[in-house]
Amino acid sequence: MITIKGLSKIFHTKDQDVRAVDDLSLNINKGEIYGVIGYSGAGKSTFIRLLNRLEDPTEGSILVDEQELTSLSKGKLRLARQEIGMIFQHFNLLWSRTVHDNIAFPLEIAGIPKAERQKRVDELIELVGLKGRGGSYPSQLSGGQKQRVGIARALANNPKVLLCDEATSALDPETTDSILDLLVDINEKLGLTIVLITHEMHVIRKICHQVAVMEEGKIVEQGEVLDVFLHPQKPVTKKFVDQVMGDPEKETSLQLIKDNYRSGEIIRLHFVGESTNQALISDLSRKFELDVNILHGKITQTQKGAYGTMFVQFDGDEKEVERAIEYIESTSVEVEVNPHV
């Protein structure tokens, strides 16, 4: 859907040239939710603004749905932009217009006749769950509702791509979740390709299929969200993963666990993908003559299944413990006996 090759953006300042985006290449498939994560100053904001040419690239090419964006004339670019929706951290609604008229704005720009506009706006208000609020002004809405208007507005002209520029960063955690749910819903219902940038790993974990980690204008790591969670390569990625997972080894001293639970075996279970659906713990205690004691852990859900680490204690006959471990090894759960401190 989106193919980016050798994309660079250099800002010239008085003292120096800043390479905000540096020779970046990337492929985003149709219907995917693609997350770009990075700390502020990593260049992700510039990156997403290059995708609809709110910034003009210094070098490189951007192909959106077979169309080369970088070479378009102003008129053609305007038409291309109508097929790329965008939502913003601070919503950027027109305060002088009602919710209804804000959503109608992109339709006015596209030259849709009034009767048709009316119908489309009503559909969109319904889609984003703002029924009955069409006559309100943005100042009468909460942050989450404002972003819903932003989303409805971005979807008005049936875009192929939705760009989300830190769309949830100004919202509280609960509202963030409801907006993310809405984005997933739209992605599934409309098959829309979504590109989002964020500094919150929580957002990536919750809705993205693919993730790219950005640092100093470059993508340092990318892949399926679960893979990146599982095997983070770069220190910056590890930091982001720890943001949601915590670092279990650091959080609780393993030594403390070992001191407190001297009998049986301490086992570390690593859940990846679907495995938690198997109800492993209750399986174990049903199939084997042993007590399973949960000591510490955290499991979290991603778009591709559950992910997390758990420490348990197996107490029982030595043979039985061994058989239980063999059993776990036959599942997709990774297991480590007596993990090192």
Among 88, 118, 303, 323, binds another protein (CB under 8 A): 88
- The pair of three-digit structure tokens given for residue 221, joined into one six-digit string: 């790591």
Binding residue (CB under 8 A) for another protein from 5, 19, 97, 239: 97
Does 143 engage in binding with another protein (CB under 8 A)?
no
Handedness of CA 287, 290, 294, 297 (dihedral sign): negative
CA distance 28 to 32: 7
- Using DSSP's 3-state secondary structure scheme, residue 132 falls into coil
**Interface with another protein (CB under 8 A), residue from 70, 82, 175, 243:** 82
| Among positions 24, 42, 62, 93, the unique one binding another protein when judged by CB under 8 A | 93
How far is the C-alpha of 2 from the C-alpha of 31, rounded, in Å?
A: 11
How many chain residues touch another protein (CB under 8 A)?
29
> Which one of 37-45, 93-101, 311-319, 323-331 is the stretch in contact with another protein (CB under 8 A)?
93-101
Output the smallest distance, CB 71 to another protein, in A: 17
Q: Which residues contact 47 (CB under 8 A, 6 or more apart)?
A: 7, 20, 21, 24, 36, 197, 214
105 in contact with another protein (CB under 8 A): yes
Is residue 109 part of the contact set for another protein (CB under 8 A)? yes
Residue of 40, 139, 260, 330 interacting with another protein (CB under 8 A) = 139
75 vs 132, beta carbon nearer another protein: 75
167 and 147 in contact (C-beta within 8 Å)? yes
Contact between 124 and another protein (CB under 8 A)?
Answer: no
Residue environment code for 168-205, b if the CB has 16+ CB neighbours within 10 A, otherwise e: beebeeebbbebbebbeebbeebebbbbbbbbbbbbbb
Q: Which is nearer to another protein, 74 or 340 (CB)?
A: 74
Nearer residue to another protein within complex by CB, 96 or 255: 96
CB 164 within 8 A of CB 145: no
Nearest to 150 by CA among 220, 66, 91: 91
Name the residues that contact another protein, by CB under 8 A. 52, 54, 77-82, 84, 86, 88, 90, 92-97, 105-106, 108-110, 137-139, 153, 157, 163
